[in-house]
Amino acid sequence: MIRHLWPLLAGFTLWALAFILLYALQYLGCYFGWAPAAHRTALVVGYVMSLAALAGALLVQLALLRRRGSAATSLDRIGIGATIAALAATAVTFGPTLLASACI
Amino acid sequence: MSQDPLSPVALHKALTRIWATPPGWGRLSAVNHTILGKRFMMLALVFFTIGGVLAMLIRAQLATPGSAFIGPELYNQIFTMHGTVMMFLFAIPMFEGLAIYMLPKLLGARDLAFPRMTAYGFWCYLFGGMILIVAMLLGYAPNAGWFMYTPLSSGTYTPGINADVWLLGITFVEISAITAAVEIIVTILKMRAPGMSLTRIPIFGWYMLVTATMMLIGFPPLILGSILLEMERAFDLPYFDPTRGGDPLLWQHLFWLFGHPEVYIIFLPAAGVLSTIIPTFARRPLIAYNAIIIAIVAMAFLSFGLWVHHMFTVGIPHLALAFFSAASALVAIPTAVQIFAWIGTLASGRTKFDVPMLYVIGFFIVFVCGGLTGVMLAMVPFNTQAHDSYFVVAHLHYVLVGGFVFPMLAALYYWLPHFTGRTSVYRLSIPAFWLILIGFNLTFFLMHLTGLMGMPRRISTYPSNWGWDWLNLLSSVGGFLMTMGFALVLVDIIMQFRFGRRGAQNPWRASTLEWAMPTPPPDYNFAALPAVTQRADQLDPDALARSLAAGEGYLGFARADRQETLGVDMMTGMPDQVIILPQRSFLPLWTALATGVFFLGLLFKVYWIVPPAAVVVIALFLLWPRALGARRNMGPIDIGQGEAVPADGEVEDNVTWWASRAAVAADATLYASLLFGALYLAVVAPGWDGPAPATNWLPAIGLATAFGASVLARRARRLNQAGDSPYRWLLGGAALAGLTALACVTGMVLLGDATTHANLALRFALYAYCAIHAGIAMLIMAHAAWRWREGFVSAVRATDLRLSVLWTDYAALALLPAWALMVLLARSGGAA
């Protein structure tokens, strides 16, 4: 059952994981006193990885949709829409890793 | 073998005899969703009235500067209770009641998945609410704000039982929220009309599925926070005390981790109502059905990523502020998708206007304003300026009244003919609407201005030289106008129940299944369950009503005095089991009463009564399954239409299994919140320094015995599958789980004085959590052994053994991070 719902949930689950990863990176970097350049690099790498993971999930879902052809359900198509929305949300929510000050 | 067909009248009588609730004292044994849904909603309206009276007292006090109408202490109690009553005792139970009443009817089922749990939830709601209201009448109401911020709510600054009333009363009420969430999820996923695939369910079903899942994830952080704060107040364990390694901000994180998703938990059911009502009046299907599902899912996730916008001014680095600010602004987009879908549906249909549509229009006006000020408050610089001012009060009322009260009034007028079987004669609803709309805007629009002029919230009075006087006076006048409107609504409802004329079965010409039954609805909902071949918001209820009443459909007969409904495959909606529901019982009432004694013992610090009360609650719960299950395999059962499926106890994919998984998910969320709290304090708390005592080997011993219990549970299940006796293995597993609990309790005792530092207090909480779960695993395994001996378990009827594996696995897995964290806490210092 749950596997049928994954197309719908995958994108925003990745968004949530990215949130936890980047929020934790931000906090731990400040707690352990990482050098600003290293801290920024870690955050940007985390941001890019999050975007890449979502793009990958989207490509997988598109490939699955093509493979299923007429057997694809509307839930598959809704899932693709949700993943696109999650990709956009990830780009916007975590975009500030590129410029905002991490520990002030 | 098919049943002999009965005439519609004979079928009605036969089904009523099975499903009806007896009169007199027998009403207290009701487990029927129609009755309990109405009770939930009526009680919520009672609490709404109480909350409204409190609001009037607030407005009377603030109408003029320097008012001595009520003093500051009473004012603190009143504004705290107003927020608490409206959020916890009105809004959440109101939509729960609507969902409880409506979901089986919309989905084509005869009841919810766990009728006795519905009744237990209702009694917990009633008793928990009564604790709060009685405390208020006696002058002991909570007085630290509905958000109970520490350190104000800690024992030092709020001695007495006022804050305990909130913490324990609300936790008691939240039992009903968690039980309702589990019920709603399982019912939507498993109990639908045959053929109603997941993509055919009415849109209200999607809204409630997402809302209930959010409740399952959103409520546990608050429950955990309440438990920790009560432990601090009662036993001096310093989770929020910065002088002993705690941090008051941990409370804010736990509260708002619940509190912000809560706003969407309240809004989404109301949006589901709008998505149901608007197509009926637009006389066309809802447009953008798929986009709305995406929007609901997006809102659900995003709502968990913006709780810190309530904490923008506490001192958080810019980057973190930016994450939460961006998420707070983004959530407006899925909201707007729904707004445009509704407007598009109305614009492209042949829209007719009636009373429910008045309130829908009111929703559009008010909610959109609230949404726009929400985007303003999502911006950190503006938020910093407006923080804790009346601008925020105005915003939250625009969102909550616009996003919940107006849609619920629309729902009330839309479904009143369903509840009563009558239509309104007096049309008091129309002047009521105008009074509410004008009164509301007069009250709260002006609060934007007082807020921008600097008036802080939560003050009991103000001087007259700040220019706030006339704005406050007008706000108070508006408040009383709005109250008159609500009073008219109340009179209108009573008039409709008492004097309304008998109306048509489907007065709005709607296309959903709840109208395919007589109104007011019979106890069994449908004499036969329909086969659904298209999206379930595009049906013809009038034609269906006639054929279903004649028993033409699935389960169109009364059999063996059993309350039967169908379970389906979650995705396809094809029937895969007959669910035999438990009948009326006083057990939920007794269990809730015993639960109430447990909470009252904690509240009045009569601790000797708490353990026996807990034992009674557990014993009563163990009595519940006595009437469930069969002592022999029934095999496929006739469901009509030439089809036969097994009973629910004989399939793996049954509702009990799914409810247990949902319960574990909620439980794991609470545990994750505890782990987050421990890490948060270790990293952030200001007084976390100095060496800490090392951890001992007790967690490792507990881990070994817990995994041993898990292995034995699996072995028992395999033996049972092969037709051999699992009895001794289950008892052995129960013994090992008991040893695990003992190891954890010993660990708690050996910790020493856990009141000295949060480091030790956290370990105490981790041990307690693991001990309780090992105890649960022990009870479930012992109970499964008893059920096997009594003949309720076989190779086919194996749910008890699967539950044993689930809970022993969870108890063992919970010990892993607990041990790791204890090692970390021992190394992190902080308990010198």
Please spell the DSSP secondary structure of B368-434, one letter per residue. Answer: HHHHHHHHHHHSHHHHHHHTTBHHHHHHHHHHHIIIIIHHHHHHHHHHHHHHHSEE-SS-THHHHHH
Give the minimum alpha-carbon distance from B525 to chain A in angstroms, rounded to a whole number. Answer: 28
Q: Are B304 and B261 in contact (CB under 8 A)?
A: yes
Residue among A12, A22, A77 whose CB faces B298 most closely: A12
Judged against a pLDDT cut of 90, whether residue B687 lies above it is answered with: no
Give the minimum alpha-carbon distance from B802 to chain A in angstroms, rounded to a whole number. Answer: 18
Q: Do A15 and B301 touch (CB under 8 A)?
A: yes
pLDDT for B226 equals: 97
Tell which phi-psi region holds residue B605, choosing left (phi > 0), alpha (psi between -120 and 50) or beta: left
pLDDT for B691 equals: 65
Residue among B290, B319, B330 whose CB faces A74 most closely: B290
Helices in B576-651 by DSSP H: which ranges? Answer: 587-603, 610-623
Q: What is the mean pLDDT of residues B78-91?
A: 97
DSSP B186: H
What residues pair up with B566 in beta bridges, in sequence order? B578
pLDDT for B690 equals: 64
Q: Which residues of A touch B320 (CB under 8 A)?
A: 23, 26-27
Q: Do A16 and B653 touch (CB under 8 A)?
A: no
Cα–Cα distance for residue pair B515/B609, rounded to 1 Å:
49
Token pair of B48 as six digits: 């709404």
Q: Residue type at B13?
A: K
CA distances B222 to A59, B494, B562, B674, Å, are: 38, 37, 39, 11
Cα–Cα distance for residue pair B809/B737, rounded to 1 Å:
11
Q: Are B693 and B831 in contact (CB under 8 A)?
A: yes
Res. A1 pLDDT band, cuts 50 70 90 = low
Q: What is the mean pLDDT of residues A71-89?
A: 94
pLDDT for A2 equals: 67
> Where exactly are the structural domains of chain A?
2-96
**What's the distance, CA B789 to chain centroid?**
37
Judged against a pLDDT cut of 80, whether residue A89 lies above it is answered with: yes
Res. B830 pLDDT band, cuts 50 70 90 = low
Token pair of B497 as six digits: 């129940």
Q: Are B210 and B151 in contact (CB under 8 A)?
A: no
Token pair of B488 as six digits: 């008219």
Q: Which residues of A touch B330 (CB under 8 A)?
A: 89, 92-93
Q: Tell me the per-residue pLDDT of B448-461, one tens digit each, with 9 for 90 and over.
A: 999 999 999 999 99
Cα–Cα distance for residue pair B720/B631, rounded to 1 Å:
15
State which residue of chain B sits closest to A40, comparing Cα positions: B319
**What's the distance, CA B133 to chain centroid?**
20
Q: Tell me the per-residue pLDDT of A23-49, one tens digit each, with 9 for 90 and over.
A: 999 989 998 899 999 999 999 999 999
Q: Which residues of A touch B316 (CB under 8 A)?
A: none
Across the A/B interface, how many CB contacts are shorter than 8 Å? 92
Cα–Cα distance for residue pair B648/B712, rounded to 1 Å:
26
**What's the distance, CA B98 to chain centroid?**
12
Helix-helix angle A36-68:A2-31, to 10 degrees: 170
Q: Do B199 and A9 touch (CB under 8 A)?
A: no
Q: Are B509 and B280 in contact (CB under 8 A)?
A: yes
Q: Do A96 and B323 touch (CB under 8 A)?
A: yes
Token pair of B735 as six digits: 């013994």
Q: What is the mean pLDDT of residues B508-525?
A: 96
Q: Do A27 and B298 touch (CB under 8 A)?
A: no
Mutation target for A interface from B247, B289, B294: give the one with most A CBs within 10 A. B294
Cα–Cα distance for residue pair B749/B743, rounded to 1 Å:
10
Q: What is the mean pLDDT of residues B32-46?
A: 97
Token pair of B473 as six digits: 């006076």
Backbone φ and ψ of B637, nearest 5°: -115, 140
Q: Tell me the per-residue pLDDT of B695-714, one tens digit each, with 9 for 90 and over.
A: 888 888 899 999 999 999 99
pLDDT for B832 equals: 46
Judged against a pLDDT cut of 90, whether residue B376 lies above it is answered with: yes
Q: What is the mean pLDDT of residues A12-21?
A: 97
pLDDT for B423 equals: 87
Residue among B297, B570, B684 whose CB faces A12 most closely: B297
Nearest to B670 by CA among B248, B171, B260, B326: B171
pLDDT for B465 equals: 87
Mutation target for B interface from A2, A78, A84: give the one with most B CBs within 10 A. A78
Q: Which residues of A touch B308 (CB under 8 A)?
A: none
Average pLDDT, rounded, for chain A: 93
Residue among A27, A43, A82 whose CB faces B297 most closely: A82
Q: Residue type at B99?
A: A
Name every residue in A having a CB less than 8 A away from some CB of B: 1, 4, 8-9, 12-13, 15-16, 19, 22-23, 26-28, 30-31, 43, 73-75, 77-78, 81-82, 85-86, 89, 92-97, 100-104
Q: Tell me the per-residue pLDDT of B721-730, one tens digit each, with 9 for 90 and over.
A: 999 999 999 9
Give the minimum alpha-carbon distance from B813 to chain A in angstroms, rounded to a whole number. Answer: 21
Backbone φ and ψ of B124, nearest 5°: -60, -40
Cα–Cα distance for residue pair B468/B464, rounded to 1 Å:
7
Q: Which residues of A touch B653 (CB under 8 A)?
A: 1
List the Cα angle B622/B623/B626 in 5-degree steps.
110
3-state helix, strand, coil in chain B (%, to 5): 70, 5, 30
Q: Are B626 and B585 in contact (CB under 8 A)?
A: no
DSSP A59: H
Alpha-carbon radius of gyration of chain A: 16
Q: Do B305 and A77 touch (CB under 8 A)?
A: no
Q: What is the mean pLDDT of residues B641-669?
A: 96
Which residue do the tokens 């405390």 mark? B135
What residues pair up with B554 in beta bridges, in sequence order? B529
Task: Report the share of chain B in percent with pLDDT over 90.
Answer: 92
Tell which phi-psi region holds residue B752, choosing left (phi > 0), alpha (psi between -120 and 50) or beta: left
Q: Tell me the per-residue pLDDT of B185-216, one tens digit each, with 9 for 90 and over.
A: 999 999 999 999 999 999 999 999 999 999 99
Give the minimum alpha-carbon distance from A95 to chain B in angstroms, rounded to a whole number. Answer: 8
Q: Which residues of A touch B323 (CB under 8 A)?
A: 19, 22-23, 93-94, 96
Q: What is the mean pLDDT of residues A48-60?
A: 97
Mutation target for A interface from B253, B319, B375: give the one with most A CBs within 10 A. B319
Nearest to B196 by CA among B570, B455, B495: B570
Cα–Cα distance for residue pair B27/B765, rounded to 1 Å:
41
DSSP B586: S
Q: What is the mean pLDDT of residues B805-816?
A: 96
Give the minimum alpha-carbon distance from A99 to chain B in angstroms, rounded to a whole number. Answer: 8
Q: Which residues of A touch B199 (CB under 8 A)?
A: 73-75, 78
User: Burial of B608 by CB count in 10 Å (0-12 exposed, 13-18 middle, 19+ buried)?
Assistant: exposed
Token pair of B76 as six digits: 């603190």
Q: Are B566 and B578 in contact (CB under 8 A)?
A: yes
Which ipTM was obtained for this model?
0.96
Q: Tell me the per-residue pLDDT of B303-329, one tens digit each, with 9 for 90 and over.
A: 999 999 999 999 899 999 999 999 999
- What size, in residues, is chain B? 832
DSSP B694: P
Q: Which residues of A touch B321 (CB under 8 A)?
A: 100
**In the CATH scheme, what is the code of domain B21-266+570-668?**
1.20.210.10
pLDDT for B700 equals: 86
Give the minimum alpha-carbon distance from A59 to chain B in angstroms, rounded to a whole number. Answer: 18
> Where exactly are the structural domains of chain B?
21-266+570-668, 689-828
Give the minimum alpha-carbon distance from B463 to chain A in angstroms, rounded to a whole number. Answer: 38
pLDDT for B2 equals: 53
Cα–Cα distance for residue pair B767/B699, rounded to 1 Å:
8
Cα–Cα distance for residue pair B252/B254, rounded to 1 Å:
6
Token pair of B789 as six digits: 């001996």
Helix-helix angle B115-137:B92-107, to 10 degrees: 160
Q: Do A78 and B293 touch (CB under 8 A)?
A: yes
Name every residue in B having a CB less than 8 A away from some CB of A: 189, 198-199, 290-291, 293-294, 297-298, 300-302, 304-305, 317-323, 326-327, 330, 334, 570-571, 653, 683-684
Q: Are B107 and B652 in contact (CB under 8 A)?
A: no
Q: Do B323 and A23 touch (CB under 8 A)?
A: yes
Q: Which residues of B touch A40 (CB under 8 A)?
A: none
- What size, in residues, is chain A? 104
Q: Do A89 and B330 touch (CB under 8 A)?
A: yes
State which residue of chain A sits closest to B680, comparing Cα positions: A27
Q: Which run of H or of E encompasses B645?
A: strand B643-645
Nearest to B526 by CA among B202, B95, B191, B37: B191
Res. B684 pLDDT band, cuts 50 70 90 = confident
Residue among B290, B327, B570 whose CB faces A93 most closely: B327
**What's the distance, CA B382 to chain centroid?**
33
